[in-house]
Structure formats: C-alpha cells, structure tokens
Amino acid sequence: MSKRYLLIIAVVGIASLFLATAIYAGTTVADVVNMENKAYDKHKKSIVTFTHKKHVEEYKAVCGDCHHDADNKPLSGLKMGDEVKNCIECHSTPGEAPKGKDAPKLSEKEKMAYHAEAMHENCKGCHTKANKKSGTKTAPTTCTGCHPKAEK
C-alpha cells in the first residue's frame, strides 16, 4: 500500500472520530420517555408514557410538530443529536392553569405559561386531528388514555 493511501485512511479515521464525538456531545432522548418532569413537587395524575421513537418513526410526526424555538417557530431542521431545550424551560409554570368560576380569564399566551396546558394542547391537538383523519380512536384524547388509572 502506498503512503498516499495510508494517509487517506488516517484522515478518514480521524474525521469519523470527530463526527462521532460531535453526535455524542448533543442531547439524546430515550425511545420511551417517562413524562415525570422534575419541576413538579408532586404529580396529581399518573405518569404519562410517551413513545418518542414511535411518534417519529411509526406515526410520522416531524420534530417541528413538537419542538420550536423561542419565537414559536417549528424547529424543522432538528436532527437527532442536536441540542434540544425541554418544554418546561419556556412553559415554566408546573401544572394546569387555574380552573373554575373564580379563575382569572387568561389570554392564550398566559395559559401557555403553564406546562401542562402546553403539553395538552400539543399532544391532544394532534391526536384529535389524527383520529379524525384515520376514523379511529388510536390516538388517546381522554385523561386515562394518557394518565392510566393506577393498577390495584
């Protein structure tokens, strides 16, 4: 083998090492995410199991359907390995907005400050549309569909 080939092999080897490090340095996500956000002192409802991988691979949801930037622009160019902010960093008040007749009337923006409102609008919004389109009810829209009743 000539020196030139050896040099090419060395360069390719080093380059792929750098690439692997770059991928490793980003944010990773579990295939199935237990939605048990640490910002909550205590969850009132049972923990939602979110199939992140299935949503992308089987249900064909795209990153920008759920992840957006500080201007609420979909992050359509997002790739696995990129840095991703958690929803709670911007939708920062844990729980749902106050309800009932004494509750203040909130604008859409004020409502979206509540983490659970943003989650519900995102998850249920797409599920309602998806069910309508498929003529099925496979995408859960009821409380227990996502927050299963505790097994006794």
Give me the residues that bind ligand HEC (CB under 6 A), please.
Answer: 27-29, 33, 35-37, 40, 43-45, 48, 50-52, 54-56, 59, 61, 63, 65-70, 72, 78-80, 84-91, 95-96, 109, 112, 116, 118-124, 126-127, 130, 138-143, 145-147
CB atoms within 10 A of CB 119: 20
Question: How far apart are CB 103 and ligand HEC at their closest, in Å?
Answer: 14
Identify whether the C-beta of residue 115 lies closer than 8 Å to the C-beta of residue 87. yes
Output 5 or 58, the one with its CB closest to ligand HEC. Answer: 58
Question: How far apart are CB 32 and ligand HEC at their closest, in Å?
Answer: 8
Question: How far apart are CB 31 and ligand HEC at their closest, in Å?
Answer: 11
Question: How far apart are CB 20 and ligand HEC at their closest, in Å?
Answer: 17
Output 3 or 101, the one with its CB closest to ligand HEC. Answer: 101
Residues 6+ apart with CB under 8 A from 46: 147, 148, 149, 150
Among the listed residues 36, 47, 59, the one whose alpha carbon sits nearest the alpha carbon of residue 139: 59
Element (H, E) at 33: strand 33-35
Distance CA 151, CA 18 (A): 48
Question: How far apart are CB 1 and ligand HEC at their closest, in Å?
Answer: 40
Output 8 or 39, the one with its CB closest to ligand HEC. Answer: 39
Give me the helices (H) in the chain, please.
3-25, 52-57, 63-66, 108-112, 115-134, 143-146
Output 2 or 108, the one with its CB closest to ligand HEC. Answer: 108
